[in-house]
Amino acid sequence: MNAIRPPRGGAAVGHVAELDAVAAGAVLCLRRWCDGPAAQARLRDDFAAALGPEAGRSALCAFEALCDLCVRHGRRPLMRHHVACECIGADEACFANFISLASEGDREDAMLVATILVRADVAICLLAHAEAFGLALRRMALRVRPTQAPPSSPKILH
């Protein structure tokens, strides 16, 4: 094994702009949380502002538990990019897909992805927190989504 080889989990596999609101939110929350106490405080404020104090606190508790389980029981440390980076790394993409699957109720696939992130015996706990956090991200995305007026007439493509 080559000790100079960079960790694979940080390899760029896409761009944040390519993700849906839930997946992008998961990546940005992970990055911000890992940036330390000041960024975590801003994240708390953002959740409270978007969801209200009680629901915001509940969502953040689910996210904190999720992060704690990943740190304590992860197969290896998750690699991440800088908060402002436009690309996403392999670990971030895995985390984002896990949150998206959990929030959509696709428990079997979410469990499969969870076992990539943490030990198998911890995956079910991770899934429960991911469902709660992912649903909060969905609620936030619905509140931010710009409203579009329906087209006055159907568009003809050909």
Residue with tokens 């499969």: 112
Q: Name 31's Cβ contacts closer than 8 Å, sequence gap at least 6.
A: 80, 81, 82, 83, 85, 92
- pLDDT for 59 equals 96
**pLDDT (tens digit per residue) in 69-104:** 999 999 999 999 999 999 999 999 999 999 999 999
Average pLDDT over residues 119-131: 96
- The model's pLDDT over 32-48, given as tens digits with 9 standing for 90+, comes to 999 999 999 999 999 99
Close Cβ partners of 83 (under 8 Å, ≥ 6 residues apart): 28, 31, 32, 35, 39
Instruction: Give the pLDDT score at 151.
Output: 53
Q: What is the pTM of this model?
A: 0.85
Reported in sequence order, the residue ranges of 11-154 that DSSP labels E, i.e. its strands, are 12-15, 87-89
Instruction: Give the per-residue pLDDT at 156.
Output: 58
The H or E element that residue 136 is part of is: helix 123-144
pLDDT in tens, 3-33: 666 677 888 899 999 999 999 999 999 999 9
What is the helix, strand, coil percentage profile of the chain, to 5? 65, 5, 25
pLDDT at 134 over 70: yes
Above 60 in pLDDT, residue 147? no
- For tokens 């991200």, name the residue: 137
Alpha carbon 23 to its chain's center: 5
